[in-house]
């Protein structure tokens, strides 16, 4: 790992690393915030998965999370949202919702995307192994994300309940099999057989496997994507069927932006901290 940047923030340190990813077959950059407690001890970690068009930097600069992470003694790890580089195939029309910046946290099976687009393996397996160099206690980990990253956090947590202690999401894509963003991404990365899509659909996974992890979801009621793309009602209905508790908040006036995330990030980090102890 090559340290690209390091800046003091709330008495801790915000770092950016570059490394060669074997599962994505390209160079990748990720960010990590180490709270002041990490100077003397290992600390628990929260993974943040960003949404469409983001890199590792959006959350770092806009969410205001370092203040609370410093208080609670939590590290926050922010991966990029897709493989990167000139050799990595993009959406044919360079659309924002597929290809670069839109990896959907899955393992692609369709050419030409199956060579690089393995963001599920990257987040679940490769990235945690890299992090052993840092003063982190990876046995105490939680995961959260926004929009496409909320989809990523929910699907990854439901499939790996032993690896995370809690999961939360802002404005997640709750049922990608049933919305335009998801249709395009799942068909493009996984093919047209919708059976394969269920592996990466939080609502379908919850109905199939249930979830014993604590789940928190917050959603802005003035979010332009709420009705067509996000569909939290489908996930909440599945949770009811499976007798899974979801701490759900619908917030009048808030939209899909980082202004919404910043307004509620403290509640999310305190939620995770309860289980990371």
Q: Burial level of 219, CB count in 10 A (0-12/13-18/19+)?
A: buried
Residue 19: active-site member: no
Site for a second copy in 41-80 (CB under 8 A): 61-62, 64, 66-67
Q: How far is the CB of 266 from a second copy (least distance, A)?
A: 8
What's the first-to-final CA gap in the chain, in angstroms? 29
Of 73, 263, 267, 275, the one binding a second copy by CB under 8 A: 263
Q: How far is the CB of 252 from a second copy (least distance, A)?
A: 8
Q: Where are the beta strands (DSSP E) in the chain?
A: 2-9, 12-21, 26-34, 43-49, 75-78, 136-146, 167-170, 215-220, 246-251
Among the listed residues 223, 268, 272, 273, the single catalytic one is 223
Of 257, 267, 270, 275, the one binding a second copy by CB under 8 A: 257
Q: How far is the CB of 130 from a second copy (least distance, A)?
A: 23
Q: At a CB cut-off of 8 Å and minimum separation 6, what does 157 contact?
A: 143, 164, 166, 167, 211, 213, 215
Among the listed residues 151, 256, 268, 273, the single catalytic one is 256
Whether residue 11 contacts residue 102, with contact meaning beta carbons closer than 8 Å, is answered with no
Residue 31: active-site member: no
Could you tell me which of 125, 106, 115, 122 has the C-alpha nearest to residue 190?
106
**CA-based radius of gyration for the chain:** 17
d(C-alpha 233, C-alpha 125), whole Å: 31
Site for a second copy in 11-40 (CB under 8 A): 11, 14
If one asks whether residue 250 binds a second copy (CB under 8 A), the answer comes out as no
Q: At a CB cut-off of 8 Å and minimum separation 6, what does 231 contact?
A: 173, 174, 175, 178, 179, 203
Site for a second copy in 200-239 (CB under 8 A): 220, 222
Of 20, 39, 250, 259, the one binding a second copy by CB under 8 A: 259
Residue 272: active-site member: no
Of 1, 2, 4, 8, the one binding a second copy by CB under 8 A: 8
Stretch that binds a second copy, among 73-81, 99-107, 124-132, 253-261 (CB under 8 A): 253-261
Distances (CA, A) of 122 to 47, 117, 243: 12, 9, 31
Residues in contact with a second copy by CB under 8 A are 7-11, 14, 61-62, 64, 66-67, 220, 222, 253-255, 257-260, 262-263
**What residues are labeled active site?**
147, 223, 256
């Amino acid at each position: 790992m090559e340290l690209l940047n390091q800046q003091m923030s709330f008495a801790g340190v915000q770092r950016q690393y570059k490394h060669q990813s074997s599962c994505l077959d390209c160079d990748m950059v990720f960010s990590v915030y180490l709270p002041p407690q990490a100077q003397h001890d290992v600390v628990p970690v929260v993974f943040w998965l960003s949404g469409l068009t983001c890199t590792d930097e959006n959350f770092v600069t806009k969410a205001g999370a370092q203040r609370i992470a410093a208080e609670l003694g939590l590290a926050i790890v922010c991966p990029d949202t897709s493989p990167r580089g000139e050799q990595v195939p993009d959406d044919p029309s360079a659309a924002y919702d597929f290809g670069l910046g839109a990896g959907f946290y899955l393992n692609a099976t369709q050419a030409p995307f199956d060579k690089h687009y393995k963001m599920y393996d990257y987040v679940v397996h490769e990235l945690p192994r890299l992090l052993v160099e840092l003063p982190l206690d990876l046995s105490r980990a939680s995961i959260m994300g926004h929009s496409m990253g909320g989809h990523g956090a929910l699907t990854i947590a439901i499939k790996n309940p032993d690896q995370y202690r809690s999961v939360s999401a802002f404005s997640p894509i709750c049922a990608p099999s049933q919305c335009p963003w998801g249709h395009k991404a799942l068909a493009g990365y996984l093919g047209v057989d919708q059976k394969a899509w269920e592996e990466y659909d939080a609502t379908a996974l919850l109905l199939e496997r249930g979830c014993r992890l604590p789940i928190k979801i917050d959603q802005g009621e003035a979010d332009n994507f709420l009705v067509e793309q996000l569909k939290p009602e489908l996930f909440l209905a599945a949770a009811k069927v499976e007798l899974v508790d979801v701490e759900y908040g619908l917030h009048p006036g808030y939209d899909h932006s980082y202004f919404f995330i910043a307004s509620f990030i403290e509640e999310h980090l305190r939620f995770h901290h309860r289980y990371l102890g």
